[in-house]
Amino acid sequence: MIDAYFYGTHTRNSPEAPVPIINLEKKEKRLGGAANVALNIKALGATPILCSIVGDDWDGQQLLSLLNKESLSSHGVIIDKTRNTTVKTRVIGNNKHFLRIDEESTTFISKEIETEIITKASSLLADIDVLIFQDYNKGLLTPHVIKHITKLCNELSIPIVVDPKYDQFFEFKNCTLFKPNRKEIAEAYHKKETESLDFMSLTEELRNTLNAQKVMTTLSENGVLILDANTKHHFQAHPRKIVDVSGAGDSVLSVAALCVASGLSNTLIAHLSNLAGGLVCEKVGVVPVDKVMLLEEASQLGFDSLLL
């Protein structure tokens, strides 16, 4: 998807309705969605291979152009002539997020496109060290796509890392690492997202339900939980000056996936991912994590010797 931005200054409200007036100063388009995950992967020093769809429209061409500009391959990107390209437009005034406008199709992809995606993804598996399912509930990751690609990865011993959304939450069985946030796991179990909710128990129940090797639940300012069949950990968040949470989940996922691919411990997966999400929250807009800053903070916390 494309993340579009309108930047300006807010000095007054409209006389026509109780809404702010933003004096537009700059427009910008960035790679978003799974493409932002790819940017994070690239920024961290690995090579991302995208497999997704765009619409047969101007925004789709713009997205492909942005991929080319960032030296990201579009070989795995399929054009779907039946739907529009997803665009999220954010209006920013005085460095504050005032409004977001979404243009998207969210129905499941057709059977024909489903077959194309599975065929394309299958052809790319030989070149990868970890597969990421980045779900945004936009219709690409159907139950059949998830099940088929998961089976192939399991057969090839390729680790799978999942960032879920509500609709297909329980479809991602037999993955290596499942990464919901507190809102998503509460919704999945029809619970109210309160401080008293036992997220550790829910995370453990979820791991068993999915037959996942690990589940890592991010808890915003309350840190992160990570567990497997033998261990449970709750690590606190580090103090941050939060400016914009947009894209933080993408950075958390990207770092977690590379940690899994590198065979790092649960402790390092959780801490490094947590640090990455916090760093991104200090920036305006959707931006990839800064590898140098991430490693500097990791070093300050004593993780440098484990990362060599």
pLDDT tens digit sequence for 16-43: 999 999 999 999 999 999 999 999 999 8
Portion of the chain with pLDDT greater than 90, in percent:
73
How many CA atoms are closer than 13 Å to the CA of 225, on its beta-carbon side? 20
Return the residue matching tokens 């690609």: 149
Per-residue pLDDT, 283: 60
| Burial class for 239, CB neighbours closer than 10 Å (0-12, 13-18, 19+) | exposed
CATH homologous superfamily of 39-83+106-307 equals: Ribokinase (3.40.1190.20)
CA-CA-CA-CA dihedral for 274, 247, 250, 300, to nearest 10: -30
Task: Specify the DSSP element, H or E, that contains 1.
Answer: none
Confidence of residue 115 (pLDDT cuts 50, 70, 90): very high
Per-residue pLDDT, 296: 74
26: number of Cβ within 10 Å = 9
Cα–Cα distance for residue pair 181/169, rounded to 1 Å: 12
Closest among 272, 229, 257, 227 to 162, alpha carbons compared = 257
Closest among 160, 156, 184 to 174, alpha carbons compared = 160
Give phi and psi for 96, each to the nearest 5. Answer: -115, 145
Active-site annotation, residues: 250
> Residue 6 carries which DSSP code?
E
- The predicted-structure confidence for 247-269, as pLDDT tens digits, reads as follows 577 888 999 999 999 999 999 89
Per-residue pLDDT, 104: 95
- Spatial neighbors of 72 by CB under 8 A, at least 6 apart, are 31, 35, 38, 39, 42, 48, 50
Cα–Cα distance for residue pair 291/6, rounded to 1 Å: 27
Using a cut of 0.85, tell me whether the model's pTM lies above it. yes
- The predicted-structure confidence for 144-179, as pLDDT tens digits, reads as follows 999 999 999 999 999 999 999 989 999 999 999 999
Return the residue matching tokens 């007036």: 21
Cα–Cα distance for residue pair 40/272, rounded to 1 Å: 14
CB distance 88 to 32 below 8 Å: yes
